[in-house]
Amino acid sequence: MSQDQWTIVDDYIADLFVPHDPALDAALAASVAAGLPAIQVSPAQGKMLNLLARIQGARNILEIGTLGGYSTIWLARALPADGRLITLEADAKHAEIARANIANAGLADIVELRLGRAIDTLPQLAAEGRGPFDLIFIDADKPGYPAYLDWVVKLSRRGSLIIADNVVRKGEVSNPASADPNVQGVQRFNQLLAADLRVSSTVIQTVGCKGYDGFALGVVIAGQ
Ligand code: SAH
Ligand code: DHB
Ligand code: MG
């Protein structure tokens, strides 16, 4: 089993289940043209996020880490006409490209992009009384994940769905000697999530065109 095979099968899955879509294709093309890193979720993962949001009946979504808005568009499309998605992005250039991609997808009225470091914008959302969010997707800087978890739970209700990307990192997550701050960030995040009595969670490993990684999934079980 190799990266080549994972990519071939991911292409097969995308060809079958993820039809080409003008707004998503344009968002990827604009992100490449602007020199953004191609680290967005894969097409099949984007569709999975969309399905999870629909299964959840989400009306109110929070995303941490926008990049060019690819996952944002997948998630926002799961919302009803009066739904809302707030997405947090620290990089002004990423935010500018994302805003254009989101507008081009016809989602400017549904999506609110907040420019700033999530560790600053999350407390602002709480202070404004925003939330509770039905679904929260964590996908920004990995060393920040542990600190985001507490805010995410504060911005949740019983039944909220928490999804975190990149929590396996080529399997390095199970290496206690890893010196990579990204790996250490998701190790700490997974530990905190597993021990958090307010959330029932697991991690699922994935392979595909983005390599070997995984998602954490949790449902908030504590009242609020
Ligand atoms: N969710 C996107 C990919 C996000 S990549 C998708 O799948 O399409 C991670 C993003 O998090 C990058 O755009 C990066 O600029 C942003 N980021 C990094 N540190 C951050 C921080 N402290 N606060 C908010 N966003 C941050
Ligand atoms: C990488 C992948 C991601 O999904 C992400 O959010 C950040 C980085 C990567 O492969 O480096
Ligand atoms: Mg990611």
**pLDDT above 70 coverage of the chain, percent:** 100
Question: Do 146 and 168 contact (CB within 8 A), yes or no?
Answer: no
Q: Which residues surround ligand 3, an ion (CB under 5 A)?
A: 139, 165-166
DSSP 167: S
CA torsion angle 93 115 201 210 (round to 10)? 0
Is the shortest distance between the CB of 27 and ligand 1 below 6 Å?
no
| pLDDT at residue 217 tops 90 | yes
Alpha-carbon distances of 78 from 3, 68, 85, 91, rounded to whole Å: 30, 18, 10, 25
Closest C-alpha residue for ligand 2 atom 7: 39
**pLDDT mean across residues, the chain:** 97
Render pLDDT for 160-206 as a digit per residue (tens, 0 to 9): 999 999 999 999 999 999 999 999 999 999 999 999 999 999 999 99
Q: How far away, in angstroms, is 140 Cα from ligand 3 center?
A: 7
Domain 3-220 in CATH: superfamily? Vaccinia Virus protein VP39 (3.40.50.150)
Alpha-carbon distances of 108 from 59, 87, 88, rounded to whole Å: 16, 12, 15
* pTM assigned to the model: 0.98
Render pLDDT for 55-99 as a digit per residue (tens, 0 to 9): 999 999 999 999 999 999 999 999 999 999 999 999 999 999 999
Domain ranges of the chain: 3-220
Longest dimension (CA), the chain: 49
The mean pLDDT value for 104-126 works out to: 98
Q: How far away, in angstroms, is 36 Cα from ligand 1 center?
A: 11
Nearest atom in ligand 1 to the alpha carbon of residue 144 is 22
DSSP, residue by residue, 175-208: -TT---HHHHHHHHHHHHHHH-TTEEEEEEEEEE
Which H or E run includes 213?
strand 211-220
Burial of 12 (C-beta count, 10 Å sphere; 0-12/13-18/19+): exposed
What pLDDT does residue 224 have?
A: 60
Reported confidence tier of residue 1, pLDDT bands at 50, 70, 90 = confident
Ligand closest to 182 (CA) is 2
Mutate to test the pocket of ligand 2, among 40, 166, 206 (most ligand atoms within 8 A of CB): 166
Q: How far away, in angstroms, is 66 Cα from ligand 3 center?
A: 10
Ligand closest to 66 (CA) is 1
Reported confidence tier of residue 54, pLDDT bands at 50, 70, 90 = very high
Is the shortest distance between the CB of 10 and ligand 2 below 6 Å?
no
Question: Do 113 and 66 contact (CB within 8 A), yes or no?
Answer: yes
Is the shortest distance between the CB of 185 and ligand 1 below 6 Å?
no
Helix axes 145-154, 118-127, angle to 10 degrees: 10
Alpha-carbon distances of 74 from 4, 60, 87, 170, 211, rounded to whole Å: 26, 14, 12, 25, 21
Dist CA 53 CA 64 (whole Å): 15
Which H or E run includes 8?
helix 3-17
| pLDDT at residue 223 tops 80 | no
Is the shortest distance between the CB of 40 and ligand 1 below 6 Å?
yes
- C-alpha R_g of the chain: 17
